[in-house]
Amino acid sequence: MVSTNIGLPKLPLLVICGPSGCGKSTLLDMLFKRYPDKFGFSVSHTTRKPREGEKSGHHYHFTTPESINEAIANGEFLETATYSGNIYGTSIKAVETVSNAGKVCVLDIEMEGVKQVKQKPGLDLILVFIKPPSIQTLESRLRSRGTETEESLKRRLSVCKEEIKYGEDGNFDIVIVNENLAAAYGCLEDFLIDELLKRNIDLEQPSVN
């Protein structure tokens, strides 16, 4: 548990969660393309190996177990989770960087990370869960993505039932089923427009920063 005083972001944090392969990255890519100056990706740390084309500091800060464990012990992380044998985490600095640039910081994190973030006092969270239409569809999307070994695929699928239950148990502000991509994106965008307007943030207005 991080006990450090967190420099509270001046803008809400958008938390997106859902089982591996449910389409979070795809939906976020669409959101970032539509509103390039409104949202910022908080760059997570991970001890997993980079996939082809992934750059450290852009997709993730790729790190070692020794280094991340030391930083966690120093209270530098907002949330961490171990998934498929690798440590993932969001540093407080990464979130502050995005928020200080006048952007809504997006956290694309696992269930355990969401639980930790929800326990942090004083954060303004917008919580979105992306649900696959079925586990079979999830499996076939992960297979077609071509990023998984048979072993990592099995591990990812074995945790997805628990994740879906957590998603459906009222822990999020909205649950979006990603069956048809355009429909799921439309649902996400409409929801965010409303949520941000409640906070006097108009996505159609130019950014102040």
Ligand X SMILES: Nc1ncnc2c1ncn2[C@@H]1O[C@H](COP(=O)(O)OP(=O)(O)OP(=O)(O)O)[C@@H](O)[C@H]1O
* Site residues, ligand X (CB under 6 A): 18, 20-26, 141, 144-145, 178, 181, 184
Nearer to ligand X, 48 or 120 (CB): 48
Min dist CB 7 to ligand X, Å, is 28
Q: Under 8 Å CB-to-CB from 35, ≥6 apart: which residues?
A: 203
Min dist CB 43 to ligand X, Å, is 14
DSSP string, 136-149: HHHHHHHHHHT---
Helix axes 150-168, 111-119, angle to 10 degrees: 40
Min dist CB 152 to ligand X, Å, is 10
Nearer to ligand X, 9 or 18 (CB): 18
Burial class of residue 89 in the structure, from the number of CB atoms within 10 Å of its CB (0-12 exposed, 13-18 middle, 19+ buried): buried
* Cα distance between residue 47 and residue 199, in whole Å: 36
Nearer to ligand X, 21 or 40 (CB): 21
Nearer to ligand X, 24 or 38 (CB): 24
Min dist CB 154 to ligand X, Å, is 14
Q: How far apart are the first and last CA of the chain?
A: 33
